[in-house]
Amino acid sequence: SISIDFNKSRRTFLFKLSKMANKCIFLFVCLCSIALIAALPLQEDSKVPQEGQPPVLARHVRSPDGGSVGVDVNQDSASAHYNQNIYTSDDGNFKVDAAAQASHNFHTNDNSYSGAISGSFSW
């Protein structure tokens, strides 16, 4: 008679599946990181802090659709903000914009978050 150990087969299958899932997740994270780095422009030399100035990391990116993203980091705090034009009428008289901001203070360990949607109409 032939005996099959289903528990051993199941354990082997789950072990191989978990190894494959880990590789897939790692590959996905690597590809996303590469895509993000490739999408961000390099910082201009004029914005590099000179000797004696506090080190500051600042990156501001402008999207082609009328939005902007900024990240600022220094010794005391870090902040990120996002602005996006959601809608502009064909004649330019009506606009709707959205904004979000988050910051973290390293000394007091405080976080703050805010967001807004604004509209304007001119005639």
What pLDDT, on a 0 to 100 scale, did the predictor assign at position 57? 58
Write out the DSSP string of 69-110. Answer: EEEEE-SSEEEEEEEEEEEE-TTSSEEEEEEEEEEEETTTTE
Domain extents for the chain? Answer: 1-40, 57-121
Adjacent-strand bridge partners of 5: none
Question: Is the pLDDT reported for residue 96 higher than 80?
Answer: yes
- C-beta of residue 120 within 8 angstroms of C-beta of residue 87: no
Average pLDDT over residues 96-111: 87
Question: Is the pLDDT reported for residue 106 higher than 80?
Answer: yes
What pLDDT, on a 0 to 100 scale, did the predictor assign at position 64? 45
pTM of the complete model beyond 0.75:
no
User: Tell me: the pLDDT tens digits for 18-72?
Assistant: 777 777 777 778 777 777 766 666 555 455 556 666 655 555 554 446 677 788 8
Percent with pLDDT over 70 in the chain: 70
